[in-house]
Structure 1
């Protein structure tokens, strides 16, 4: 198998139902992943969700363990991985299109823009004027979305391969569960590699919040104005994120955490912790530091 840029050779077969990174977990999924750098070999082997691997001929010959997987040989595994994803994203591989399902009990403004397919809006929702809802958006009951917000937008994902930049097609969905409220001018991206961006029950977003691709926001979490979450962030239950906080990609924030206003979070935050500052550290340590320099 080949295309204009990358040669791919199928070494052994497997059945997979999604593509994913070696360092992420995909419960109940059969994952095709890739390895370009041998330092990630243990991540591949220890990830029980992975059933197929794209790698170089050299890596395949070096590790006998790879013979237990479906394998595609590629000169550039990373490029091949995302090119395969982009091809599959044009099909219904990740999810099936369906006719819009909008409850008659919901108040959807005539001045809202609703995509042509694959949108579900549950009972007793309010969709205000100027809201844009893109295909691949599932909204539960009693959800309020205020004017100017965009739901189900394309994720910001580009891959640099040598001198080329490959745009990665957004192929996932947005799931908004019951009793969520989204204030004005928020943006919520769909998942990229067929996964979902999820706002769980009773999540509340203030104005100008950005939720990036593949994020998960736990139940009863409040996110205040101007917060920016990068991709693949997990926020637990009953958290509070202060005004203009920023969270780096792939960060895990536990349950019952507080992220102080203006904080820049670059490391995981254990449950029950308050962090403050740029870069964010445990709040009491931040206060001690401030006292020490005054």
Structure 2
């Protein structure tokens, strides 16, 4: 894709240094894709971009500080990036991984007549249970033995909203969701699809998610996890295998929760949690430290 042609179409003024060609869009640290365009609008990210980046959107203040051959200078790099994403969202050369294919449903699956399943780009495995008033959107894979309880929405739009002057615009989501084998998702839970066409929100096998849980776009939840009711999991969070996330917990976007960690009831997690750790409180700290501090207060 040619960035010059896209920005001309969007009527965005820019200055170009080097080649302006790219295959897709992605965040600066992404390593799972190649030849992608990203943005840098803060100095702290200058040395943190992936070697797979082919083109950087930035502003005039940061341009000379970024030692990279292919740069595009615009007034607002972040806004411009997401405007490009929205422009490309319906283009075949951007959403190439999501070609329209007729929905497939495996043998032995029990699907309520009161559920809503997209006619295209859904794959449902064998012996899956989908209860009444479930909504399954495009770009969703549900593997064998999974259970989706009443009222849940799988593959809905995520929450990515940008403010421009006196208005806002919603960023389109063109990724997918993968629900692993023998996962159970209980009543009225929302699993948002990923933002980028190459990405999925993933719930791995034997994980159980309780009622009224929100899983943000691009999150990755490992095997045999237990996520209790009213929990909010931010976009692109990674939760490793065998984790416990207690009632009404909140996990900030972009964090990593280590294998076997426990996020205790009501915790507000604002930084990464190490393997096997147990955290409590707002803002969450080591559980034993929290209890010790609580006793001193009493």
Q: Does 1:248 align with 2:249?
A: no
**Do the aligned partners of 2:115 and 2:133 also contact (CA within 8 Å) in 1?**
yes
Per the alignment, residue 140 of structure 1 pairs with 143
**Do the aligned partners of 1:171 and 1:192 also contact (CA within 8 Å) in 2?**
yes
Q: Does 1:158 align with 2:161?
A: yes
Per the alignment, residue 34 of structure 2 pairs with 29
**Do the aligned partners of 1:6 and 1:75 also contact (CA within 8 Å) in 2?**
no
**Alpha-carbon distance in structure 2 between the residues aligned to 1:253 and 1:38:** 27
Per the alignment, residue 218 of structure 2 pairs with 214
Q: Aligned-residue CA RMSD in angstroms? A: 1.8
Structure 1 gaps of 5+ residues are none
Q: Does 1:81 align with 2:120?
A: no
**Alpha-carbon distance in structure 1 between the residues aligned to 2:13 and 2:73:** 8
- SS of residue paired to 2:218: coil
**Alpha-carbon distance in structure 1 between the residues aligned to 2:267 and 2:139:** 32
Per the alignment, residue 107 of structure 2 pairs with 104
The alignment's TM-score, normalised by the length of structure 2, stands at: 0.90
Cα 1:183/1:113, change in 2 over 3 Å: same
Cα 1:127/1:192, change in 2 over 3 Å: same
- SS of residue paired to 1:42: coil
Per the alignment, residue 48 of structure 2 pairs with 43
**Alpha-carbon distance in structure 2 between the residues aligned to 1:28 and 1:248:** 24
**Alpha-carbon distance in structure 2 between the residues aligned to 1:97 and 1:15:** 26
Cα 1:165/1:142, change in 2 over 3 Å: same
Q: Does 1:201 align with 2:205?
A: yes
Structure 2 gaps of 5+ residues are none
Per the alignment, residue 257 of structure 1 pairs with 261
Q: CA deviation at 1:106?
A: 1.1
Q: CA deviation at 1:182?
A: 0.5
**Alpha-carbon distance in structure 1 between the residues aligned to 2:16 and 2:102:** 37
Cα 1:123/1:8, change in 2 over 3 Å: farther
The alignment's TM-score, normalised by the length of structure 1, stands at: 0.92
Over 6 Å off, 4+ runs: none
Q: CA deviation at 1:134?
A: 0.4
Per the alignment, residue 288 of structure 2 pairs with 284
